[in-house]
Amino acid sequence: MSGSAVNKALRGGRGGRTRAARGRSHPGHRILGVGIIAVIVVTVAVLLTDTVTAMRTEHGFSRALLASPHLTYEPEVTISGFPFVTHARTDRFTGAVITARGVPVACPPRERCHAELGATLGPITVPDGFSIASSDIVHTDSLSAYTRLDSVNLGRMLGIVDLTVSTPAPTDKAGGGGPGDGLLRRSSGVVLTGTVPLPSARASTDPPSASTYDGPTARVSVLVDLSVVGGRLHVQATDFYRGPERHADDEVADDLRENVLSAFTATLPALPMPWDVAPTGAHSEGSDVLLAGDDGPRDLRPDEF
């Protein structure tokens, strides 16, 4: 046999063995790939099951809260704890957040007023982690509650139907009011802007901001302090606001200044709080005004929200 023939035979033999080895390695790769896919599918299935279970329990809790006579619409409920199923089996979660909108509140006879009620619960224990009923006892380690009025509803309560609320940025630091400050809050120096009537011999049933109102009016911005008096929200006007932020400043005679400020001063009717938590403070938050309070460990019934 010639040298070239021997070399071809050797190359052919090595090539055959290489192809055979490759053929033997393919099943291993396929098994590894199938295993990875199986792990992904199982993980997705577990996460999906956990999410669906959480949604069902949260919706059940929401329906249980709707049994409260204060509520008209189902509140939003978020129960924390991951994995959810694991926490549900132990009937204990790391917390819950409840937001109920469109809650009717006391208002002047001609108006309809609504508020937002919210509560943040610390770690909670329930009788059945997969189903929370309206009469169940929900034990929580802590409870923070609030009642929120937007500018429209606050204006109706004050009789200033074009009222707007703004929370001025802090003036003691450069760039105050930027994204780093988040949602601005104040208990003092909150700005209210609206149209109020000036003393006049003629009376009108129309609000001062209405085009049909024919008495003298002034659209002004004032500074107010927010506090709690006897468990009720108290708004106290302290002075006129002259800027630097956007404001209204119709001319008001010196002898009418106190009269105008008094239109922005009032103690509002009692507002409901989640589970009758006693309000301990009041503040603005952007263009809203809030009553807020905290409580220690408590046993709560959803239908008493």
**Segment 235-239 mean pLDDT:** 97
| Structure-token pair, residue 255 | 């002898």
Between 8 and 61, whose confidence is greater?
61
pTM of the predicted model, to two decimals?
A: 0.82
pLDDT by residue (tens digit) across 256-282?
A: 999 999 999 999 999 999 999 999 999
Q: Could you tell me which of 162, 159, 164, 147 has the C-alpha nearest to residue 111? A: 159
Which stretch of 68-82, 106-120, 148-162 has the lowest confidence by average pLDDT? 106-120
Count of CB atoms situated within 10 Å of the CB of 145: 23
Q: Residue 160: which pLDDT band, with cuts at 50, 70 and 90?
A: very high
With contact defined as beta carbons under 8 Å apart, do 220 and 252 qualify? yes
Between 181 and 9, whose confidence is greater?
181
73 backbone φψ class: left, alpha, beta (φ>0; ψ -120 to 50): beta
With contact defined as beta carbons under 8 Å apart, do 279 and 273 qualify? yes
pLDDT by residue (tens digit) across 36-64?
A: 887 787 777 778 888 889 999 999 999 99
Give a yes or no: residue 9 inside a domain. Answer: no
DSSP 304: G
Query: What is the average pLDDT score of the chain?
Result: 87
pLDDT of residue 174: 45
Give a yes or no: residue 205 inside a domain. Answer: no
Between 72 and 23, whose confidence is greater?
72
Give a yes or no: residue 267 inside a domain. Answer: yes
Check the CA dihedral 252-254-259-263 and report its sign: positive
**Segment 85-94 mean pLDDT:** 96
Contacts by 225-229, CB closer than 8 A, 24 or more apart: 225/187, 225/188, 225/189, 225/190, 226/186, 226/187, 226/188, 226/190, 226/282, 226/283, 226/284, 226/289, 227/187, 227/281, 227/282, 228/279, 228/280, 228/281, 228/282, 228/291, 229/267
Q: Which domain holds residue 221?
A: 50-174+181-199+214-304
Give a yes or no: residue 19 inside a domain. Answer: no
Give a yes or no: residue 206 inside a domain. Answer: no
Between 72 and 215, whose confidence is greater?
72
pLDDT of residue 49: 81
Q: Residue 175: which pLDDT band, with cuts at 50, 70 and 90?
A: very low
Check the CA dihedral 211-215-220-225 and report its sign: negative
Specify the number of domains making up the chain: 1
pLDDT of residue 28: 67
Percent of all residues in the chain with a pLDDT value above 90, rounded to a whole number: 66
Between 182 and 153, whose confidence is greater?
153
Give a yes or no: residue 61 inside a domain. Answer: yes
pLDDT of residue 173: 52
> Exposed e or buried b for every residue in 214-226, given b needs 16+ CB within 10 A?
eeebbbbbbbbbb
**Segment 166-187 mean pLDDT:** 70
State the distance between the two ends of the chain, measured CA to CA, in whole angstroms.
Answer: 99
Give a yes or no: residue 133 inside a domain. Answer: yes
Round to whole Å and give the CA distance between 102 and 120. Answer: 18
Give a yes or no: residue 44 inside a domain. Answer: no
Q: Residue 224: which pLDDT band, with cuts at 50, 70 and 90?
A: very high
Count of CB atoms situated within 10 Å of the CB of 234: 16
pLDDT at 201 exceeding the cut of 60: no
